[in-house]
Amino acid sequence: MHDPRVLLDPATDAVRKLARRGFSLDVTALEKLLSSRNSAIQRGDDARGESKRVATSVKGAAPEERAQLVERARELKGVVAAAEEEHRTLEAELQDLLLGIPNLPLDELPDGASEDDAQLVRTWGEPPTFDFAPLDHVDLGERLGILDLPRATKLSGPRFAVLKGKGAALERAIARFLLELHTEHNGYTEFSVPTLVNRVSMTGTGQLPKFEHDLFKTGVGETELYLIPTAEVPLTNLHAKETLATEELPLAYTAHTPCFRSEAGSYGRDTRGLVRLHEFSKVELVRVVEAERSRAELEVLLGHAEAAMQALGLAYRVIKLPAGDIGFSAQITYDIEVWLPGQQKYREISSCSDFGTFQARRAGIRTKSKEGARGFAATLNGSGLPIGRTLVAILEQGQQADGSVQIPDVLVPYTGFDKLS
C-alpha cells in the first residue's frame, strides 16, 4: 500500500509509472479524500484545543459567564464527535482507494503487457533433443501408470490430479530435495504454517481486496478463512504488526504447502494435465530485508531458485517481465521458464518478485536500527519450486525412446529408483 502523500508528490511520477502497468491513477479523487480527511482532523483538533481553554475558563468565571461557557463546552463536544466520525468515514474511504492501487513498477522494466514483451536475461542448459516425437507429461504419466486425471475429476472436478505409485513417491521426493537444498545450502529456515488464513493476512500481502474472485474461501459460524494461494501469505504475515531489528535482517523463510487457486479468468488455458490446477503444492521462498537492499536481494533469491533448477538438470531461461505483466504487489519480477518438449516451448515454473515496502506497509512490518532509525521492511518471494510443474518438466525432459523416464541423479537418494518405466 502507498503513502498518499508520496503518490501525489510530482517527484514520484506515480501517474506515469502506474500507466505503464495499465492502471489509471485518479489523482483528483485521491487529493479530495486526503484534503477532506486532513480538514476533519484539523477541525477536531481545533475544537479539542478550544474545549480545553473553555474548561480552564469555567473555573474562574462569574456565574453569568459560567452558563455560557458550559453551553459552549457542550457545543464543542458535539463538534469533536462529528469531526471524529467524519475522519473515520473518510479514512476508510481513503484506505479502500489505496488498497486498490498496485505497486509502482521499476523503470528498468521493459514496456508491454504480455510475455512477448518480456526481456530475455539468460538461458541455462540445452533443451533435450530426441530422435522420436516427444510426448507431453499427460501421455507419459498415463502410459507409466502414475497419473490418473479421470479419477481426480470424479473426486473433485476438473483441474485436480491424482498421482500414484512412483508418481506419488517422485512428488514427495521433489519436495524433500527442495526443502533440504534451501535450508542446508541456501540458509532458509523451514516453517510449517497454516493453509487457512484470515482476511487481514490476505490483505497484507495484496491478495485482497483485488483478487477475492480468485481465492477459495471457507468458514464456520462467524469465522471467515481463505485457503492460501501460496505460502507467501502466512510466511510474510508472520511478522505483521511487528518491528524488526535491522541487524537481524535479512530473514529467509521456506515452507512446503498445498496451494489453492480458482484460476478465475484462465478457463481455456492449460486445461490439460498438471500445469494449472486448483490445488497443487509448492516450496516457497520468502525474504524480509532492509528496504534499500531489496533489489540486490532479488538477485540472491533468483539465484536460489535457479540453483534448484540446475541441480535437477532442467534446461530453462530467465526473463524480466514487462511493466504491464507483473503482479499487483510487485515492483519487479523475474520468471524462470522451463523447456517443455511436449509443448515445444518454455513455460513459467517460478516467479521471483521484489515488492519493495508495498506489502510491509499493508501488513505493518517495520524496522528499527540500533541508532533508532525507523522505516518499513521490504519483502520478496519466489517459487523454489512448484512440485507439479517440476514433475512435468522431469517427465518431459527425461523421457526416453523406450517410453521410460530418467530421474535426475539428485532425486535418486529420495526416490529409491532412477527410472520410471
* pLDDT number for residue 142: 97
C-alpha cell at position 421: 518405466
Residues 6+ apart with CB under 8 A from 281: 171, 175, 256, 257, 258, 259, 386, 387, 388
* pLDDT number for residue 62: 79
* pLDDT number for residue 266: 57
- Bridge-based pairing of strands 332-340 and 345-354 is antiparallel
* pLDDT number for residue 263: 78
Q: What dihedral do alpha carbons 124, 129, 135, 136 form, nearest 10°?
A: 10
DSSP reduced 3-state for 19:
helix
Does residue 348 have an active-site annotation?
yes
Does residue 389 have an active-site annotation?
yes
Q: Using CA atoms, how far apart are residues 274 and 256, in angstroms rounded to an integer?
A: 18
Single out the catalytic residue among 276, 293, 295, 366: 276
- Bridge-based pairing of strands 366-368 and 243-245 is parallel
- Give the domain ranges of the chain: 26-99, 115-420
Does residue 43 have an active-site annotation?
no
Does residue 37 have an active-site annotation?
no
Residues 6+ apart with CB under 8 A from 241: 363, 364, 365
In order along its 421 residues, the chain shows pLDDT tens digits of 899 999 999 999 999 999 999 999 999 999 999 999 999 999 999 999 999 888 888 877 777 788 888 889 899 999 999 999 999 999 999 999 999 999 999 999 999 999 899 999 999 999 999 999 999 999 999 999 999 999 999 999 999 999 999 999 999 999 999 999 999 999 999 999 999 999 999 999 999 999 998 999 998 999 999 999 999 999 999 999 999 999 999 999 999 999 999 976 555 567 789 999 999 999 999 999 999 999 999 999 999 999 999 999 999 999 999 999 999 999 999 999 999 999 999 999 999 999 999 999 999 999 999 999 999 999 999 999 999 999 999 999 999 999 999 999 999 999 999 999 9
Domain 115-420, CATH class in plain words: alpha beta
Q: Where are the alpha helices (DSSP H) in 62-123?
A: 63-99
How many other CB atoms are found less than 10 A from the CB of residue 130? 11
Single out the catalytic residue among 20, 37, 159, 389: 389
* pLDDT number for residue 363: 98
Cell 484470515 -> residue: 198
Single out the catalytic residue among 20, 261, 287, 347: 261
What is 175-229 written as a DSSP string? HHHHHHIIIIIS-PEE----SEE-HHHHHHTT-TTTTGGGS-EEEETTEEEEE-S
DSSP reduced 3-state for 163:
strand
Residue type, 369: S
How many other CB atoms are found less than 10 A from the CB of residue 157? 9
Please report how the helices 387-397 and 166-180 are oriented relative to each other, as an axis angle in degrees rounded to 10. Answer: 110
Cis peptide before 385 (omega within 30 of 0): yes
How distant is the alpha carbon of residue 111 from its chain centre?
A: 22
Single out the catalytic residue among 294, 329, 350, 351: 351
Single out the catalytic residue among 75, 142, 279, 348: 348
Q: Using CA atoms, how far apart are residues 284 and 238, in angstroms rounded to an integer?
A: 14
Cα-flanking dihedrals φ and ψ of residue 290, to 5°?
-70, 145
C-alpha cell at position 213: 474472485
